[in-house]
Amino acid sequence: MRVLLSTYGTRGDVVPLEALAVRLRALGAEVRMCTPPDEEFAERLAGIGVDMVPVGPPVREVMRGTSLPSAADLDRYRTEMVAAQFDALPAAARGCDALVAAGLAQIAARSVAEAAGIRYVYVSYAAVHLPSPHHAPPPRPGWPEPEASDNRTLWELDAHQVNAQFREPLNRHRRALGLPPVDNVRDHVLTDRPWLAADPVLGAWPRTPGLDVTQTGAWSQADERPLPADLTAFLDAGTPPVYVGFGSLRPSQDIGRKAIEAIRAQGYRALVSRGWADLEPIDDGDDCFAVGEVNHQRLFSRVAAVVHHGGAGTTVTAARAGAPQVVIPLQLSDNPYWAGRVTALGVGAAPDGPSPTAESLDVAFRTALAPGTRARAKELGGKIRTDGAAVAAGLLLDALR
C-alpha cells in the first residue's frame, strides 16, 4: 500500500506527519510526503526514508519577519498555494491508496483524492480547528476578526471568510478535473469524519453533533538523541533552569528579554532556545545558556518549567515530561487554545492580554513555579501515554485493507 501525506506550515505541522510516516512504514506501507521545500524538512524526511514532494514557497520565507506578513501578502500566498497544490498533488498521489492532509491550508487535497478515486483523511492537531459550539474558531491571520458573541455565529462567519478566499479558485480547478462545485469550502476540506491527532487528556474533543471525530492521540515518535555535552554541563552545574523557546515562530526580542528577566526575578536560571527567531541571552551572565536544536523529550524532564508560544507539539511534549508551563500565545492558530488548556488543567499559566507585561509575566511565573502546579503537571504527565501515530497508522491501513 502507498500513502501520500500532505501539509504546509512550520515544523509543528510537519513533524507529526513524520511520526505517522514512520509508523506506516513499519507496517509495510510506502510513504511520500508533500511539504514546504525548506532544507530542514528535506533532511528530516531523507533521514526516515520518505520521498519529499516540495509544494509552495519555503515556509521560512513566509515567516521571515518578527510579525506576520501583511493581509495582502497572506491573501496572495493563499491563492498561490491552491494553484501550487493542484499542480503538485495529482502527480504525487498517482499510485497511492490514500491521501492524509493536515491543516486547513490543504484546500486541494480532497479534490485530488476524489479525482484519483482514493481515500481521503483530514487531520487536525487541535480540537479548536474543528467547528463546535463549545469553542470559537481560532484566529486566522490576515482576516478580520468576526464580530459576534456566540460560537455558532462565529463558525458561520468563519465559513464565509474561507469561502471568500478559496471557493472561486477551488471550484475552477474542480471544473478542470470534471468534479462538481463545492459550496462550503471549509467543511469540504474537514469532512464530517475528521481525525484529531491530539492527546485526549490534554485536549479532548467536545462531542458535537454533525462531526464524527476520531481522536487518535498526539502523533510523535521517541527521540533517543543524547543532549549536547555543553548543555548537560550547564544543567548539572546548578538547579533546574526554566526553558524559553518559541520554535518556528519569531516573536519580538522584547518578549525573550521580558521572559528572561521574569525567570531571574523568581531566582531561576534560564535556558534559551534560539529557534527560528535566533533568540540569545540578554547578557553574558553564567545563569543563562543558549541552545540550538536539541532533544526536547529528554530536556524537558530536566527543567523547572517550559516557556513557549503554545504550539501543539511543545505543549504535549512538556506535559508528557511533567513540566509546568508558561504559555505566551502569539495570538494565531491554536496558540490561545493550548494556553487555555494549560491554564484550565492547572499545569501552568498564561499572562493576560496579547502583549505580556512585566507584571503579568511575574504572576504567570509565580503560578507555574508553585509546588502545587508542579505536582499537577507531574500527575498529568503520567497519564499521557497514547502512541497516536501508531493508532492512526493501524486505523488507516485496516480501512484500506
Residue 307 lies in a domain: yes
Identity of residue 128: V
Q: Worst-scoring range by mean pLDDT, 38-52, 58-72, 151-165?
A: 58-72
- Residue 393, CB-side half-sphere exposure with 13 Å CA sphere: 26
- Residue 5, CB-side half-sphere exposure with 13 Å CA sphere: 30
Contact between 137 and 333 under an 8 Å Cβ cutoff? The reply is no
Domain holding 341: CATH number? 3.40.50.2000
pLDDT mean across residues, the chain: 93
> Does one domain contain both 32 and 175?
yes
Q: Residue 91 and residue 54: Cα distance in Å, rounded? A: 12
Per-residue pLDDT tens digits for 300-352:
999 999 999 999 999 999 999 999 999 998 767 899 999 999 999 999 999 98
H-assigned helices in 283-334:
296-299, 312-320
Beta-strand pair 242-244/214-215:
unpaired
Residue 224 lies in a domain: no
> Does one domain contain both 250 and 192?
no
Q: Residue 141 and residue 69: Cα distance in Å, rounded? A: 9
Backbone φ and ψ for 356, nearest 5 degrees, come out as -65, 140
What's the grid cell of residue 288? Answer: 543563562
Residue 253, burial from CB neighbour count under 10 angstroms (0-12, 13-18, 19+): middle
Per-residue pLDDT tens digits for 279-306:
888 888 999 999 999 999 999 999 999 9
pLDDT category, 173, cuts 50, 70, 90?
A: very high
> Does one domain contain both 129 and 152?
yes
In this predicted structure, the answer to whether residue 365 has a pLDDT above a threshold of 70 is yes
> Does one domain contain both 372 and 270?
yes
> Does one domain contain both 116 and 134?
yes
> Does one domain contain both 44 and 140?
yes
pLDDT at res. 194: 98
Identity of residue 110: R
Residue 93 lies in a domain: yes
Identify the three-state secondary structure at position 80: helix
> Does one domain contain both 189 and 137?
yes
In this predicted structure, the answer to whether residue 66 has a pLDDT above a threshold of 60 is no
What is the edge-to-edge ordering of all strands in the sheet holding 288-291? 288-291, 270-273, 242-244, 305-308, 325-327, 348-349
> Does one domain contain both 177 and 278?
no
Q: 160 lies in which domain range?
A: 2-218+386-400
Handedness of CA 263, 264, 270, 275 (dihedral sign): positive
Please give the share of the chain, as a percent, with pLDDT higher than 90.
81
Q: Residue 386 and residue 205: Cα distance in Å, rounded? A: 15
Residue 223 lies in a domain: no
How many structural domains compose the chain? 2
Q: Worst-scoring range by mean pLDDT, 79-93, 138-152, 230-244, 366-380?
A: 138-152
Backbone φ and ψ for 68, nearest 5 degrees, come out as -65, 155
Residue 361 lies in a domain: yes
CA 196 → CA 123, 142, 393, distances in Å?
6, 25, 13
pLDDT at res. 68: 66
How remote is the C-alpha of 165 from its chain's centroid?
A: 22
Which residues lie closer than 8 Å to 146 by C-beta, 6 or more apart? 137, 153, 154, 157, 158, 161
For the chain, counts of helices (H) and of strands (E): 15, 13
Contact between 351 and 369 under an 8 Å Cβ cutoff? The reply is no
Residue 10 lies in a domain: yes
The predicted model gives 29-38 an average pLDDT of 97
User: Model pTM?
Assistant: 0.95
Per-residue pLDDT tens digits for 94-122:
999 999 999 888 999 999 999 999 999 99
> Does one domain contain both 319 and 200?
no
Residue 187 lies in a domain: yes
Residue 326 lies in a domain: yes
Provide the 8-state DSSP code for 208.
Answer: -
> Does one domain contain both 37 and 103?
yes
The predicted model gives 156-167 an average pLDDT of 95
Q: Helix 358-368 vs helix 253-265: angle between axes, to the nearest 10 degrees? A: 50
> Does one domain contain both 138 and 35?
yes
Q: Residue 321 and residue 64: Cα distance in Å, rounded? A: 31
How remote is the C-alpha of 308 from its chain's centroid?
A: 12
> Does one domain contain both 272 and 344?
yes
